[in-house]
Amino acid sequence: MAIVQSPSKEIIQEQQENPRFRVTPNYSTWIAENEFIIQVALPGVSRDKIEMKALRDFFYLRAIRENVEYALDLNLNFEIDPTKVTAKYVEGLLRVAFERVNPLDNAYTVPIN
């Protein structure tokens, strides 16, 4: 006869927090005037399980639901102002708007001789 000990509740909870599957969520993007907009489907994800980071030309998103981790890394190929990013999350749909930076706004005008 073997004695089997059940794992403690702490170990079970640790195992459940680590997602088993990593998937790219469904998303769409478009440009409206000077904004770049991303709309991401994150069904069943609670607001506190969403992590986003923005750099000048890169966007990072991680969202966890049960044993699924949604992962989206986008190289934007243009510059944004990371301090002016807005996000809204309603019923499993995340909408992120980036203000695009026009590189010619601070350009030097070259005189012709």
Q: Would you say residue 60 lies in a domain?
A: yes
Q: Would you say residue 5 lies in a domain?
A: no
Partners of 71 in the β-ladder:
62
**Helix, coil or strand: residue 49:** helix
The overall average pLDDT reported for the chain is 85
Alpha helices in the chain, H assignment, sequence order: 9-17
Closest by CA to 45, choosing from 21, 26, 22, 70, is 70
**Structural domains counted in the chain:** 1
pLDDT digits (tens, 9 = 90+) for 64-88: 999 999 999 999 988 898 899 999 9
Whichever domain contains 84, its CATH number is: 2.60.40.790
Q: Whole-model pTM? A: 0.73
Answer yes or no: is pLDDT of 8 > 60.
no
Domain that includes residue 29, residue range? 19-99
Mean pLDDT to the nearest integer, 30-40: 92
Q: Would you say residue 13 lies in a domain?
A: no
